[in-house]
Amino acid sequence: MSKPTTPPRHTLRAEEARHAMLDALTPIRGVERVAIRAALNRVLAEAVIAPFDVPAHDNSAMDGYAVRAADLAPDAETRLEVVGTAFAGKAFSGLVGPGQAVRIMTGAVMPHGADTVVVQEEVRVEGAQVVVPPGQRAGQNLRRAGEDLAAGRPAIPAGKRIGPAELGLIASLGIAEVAVVRRLRVAFFSTGDEIASIGQPLAPGQIYDSNRYTLFGLLSQLGCELIDMGVVRDTPDAVEAAFTEAAACADVILTSGGVSVGEADFIREITGRLGEVSFWKLEIKPGRPMAFGRIGSAWLFGLPGNPVAVMVTFLEFVQDALQKLMGVAPLPELPLFEAVCRDPIQKKPGRREFVRAILEGGQVRLAGAQGSGVLRSMSEANCFIVLDEAQGAVAAGDKVMVRPFRGRL
C-alpha cells in the first residue's frame, strides 16, 4: 500500500521561499552576438578570452628613468648618462648599456637592457647626467607583460553582467563583438476593475495603475525584453486569456494584484488549473500574498496589488530569480548592516517585516508612513530595516539590521 503524499506547503517563510524559487529555476537558453556598444547590461554567454598579454610589453608604472639595476651602487649615489627618452606609444629604439639611463614616461615600453625605473622625484639631473640615490630595488616601478591578463586566459567569465568597466576591458582587447545570453522575455500586467490606465478618466473608486510603471522600471534596469499587456479585468475569462497569451510568448509572467483571498481574485485558481502553484503566501510584511508557479514553459510570479508590496517582493525575491534565469553568475544575498534606529517601530513576532527607512551614517530613521500603498515613502527611502520573524517591537535607540538599496534601485 502506498504511503499518503504530504501536500505542499503554500505559506512559506522568507528564506524558504527564496531558496524554493532559486532551486527550481534554470537559466534560459539562447545566445546572440552583439557589438560591444549593444552589450551594456547584457549577460555574457561565453568567457571573454584575452587574445594577447595585457600589458603587451614590460612598461613603466611611473615617470622617471629606466636604468640597469646592476649599475646602481647600494650605499652611494650613482651617476648615469641620459641617452634618450621613451614615450608612451613611442619606444626608445636603442639599447641601455652600462652607465646609461633613459628618460621614461608612464606606460612607455621598457627599453632593451633596462630592468628598473627610478621615479623622477628621487633623482637629481645635472646636465646630460642623472644622479640616482642609494636604496633602489631591482625591478621596481615596472608593470610586466601579461601582469594584468595573460594571453589565452579568461578576461571576463561567462555569467558576468556587462557594465561600463567590462565594456572598457573588452575594447582594450580589441574585441568588437561578444556572445551574450538572449534577453529574458517578461510579460507583465496588472489586474483589477479598480485599476485605470493613465489617460483614462477615473471612475468612482478607481485608481491609476502605478504597478506596471514600477515593474517597467525594475525590469528595464535588469535588461529584460518587456511585453506590457496592460490592465486585465477581474473576470475568469479575461485572466485566463491573459495567462494563455503570456505563456505562449514569454519566459516569465509577472502580475500584480489578484493573488489574495478576495472574492474576485482568480489568479491563484486559474494558475492551478492551467499549470501549477508552488506557494502563494509569504510570512512577510508587506507582501504576504505572493504566488510562484508555472504555466506551460513560463514561470509565474504573482505579486500583491499594493504598490509598496510589489517593490518589496520584487527586490527581495523576484530580482535574484530573474537574474538566475538570465544566466547571471550566482549572486550572494545582499548583506545586512547594523544601525541605531532613531524611531520606535511597532511589531509582533511571527513575520519578517521590511520597513522603509533612511540610513544616515550609523543611524536609520523611518521614511514616513509605512502603509502598503504609500509609494512616497518608498521613493524617499534608501534602505529597508529588516526585522526578522522573532523580532518584536523596536524602541528608539535600539540596534536594527539594515539592507541598503544601493545597486538594486
**pLDDT tens, 283-335?**
999 988 898 999 999 999 999 989 999 999 999 999 999 999 999 987 777 78
Q: Assess whether pLDDT exceeds 60 at residue 263.
A: no
Task: State what percent of residues in the chain have pLDDT above 70.
Answer: 95
Contact at 8 Å (CB) between 259 and 191? Answer: no
Closest-CA residue to 123 (of 65, 62, 59): 65
Identity (one letter) of the amino acid at 203? A
Q: Which domains are seen in the chain, by residue range?
A: 11-27+183-325 (3.40.980.10), 45-54+147-181 (3.90.105.10), 59-143 (2.170.190.11), 337-404 (2.40.340.10)
Q: Assess whether pLDDT exceeds 70 at residue 183.
A: yes
pLDDT at residue 368, rounded to an integer: 83
Euclidean distance between CA atoms 124 and 194, whole angstroms: 81
Q: Assess whether pLDDT exceeds 80 at residue 188.
A: yes
Euclidean distance between CA atoms 202 and 195, whole angstroms: 9
Q: Assess whether pLDDT exceeds 70 at residue 74.
A: yes
- Predicted confidence band at 407 (pLDDT cuts at 50, 70, 90)? low
- Predicted confidence band at 6 (pLDDT cuts at 50, 70, 90)? very low
Euclidean distance between CA atoms 26 and 100, whole angstroms: 63
- Whole-structure pTM value: 0.82
Kindly tell me the sign of the dihedral angle through the C-alpha atoms of 164, 166, 172, 177. Answer: negative
Euclidean distance between CA atoms 83 and 101, whole angstroms: 6
Contact at 8 Å (CB) between 252 and 225? Answer: no
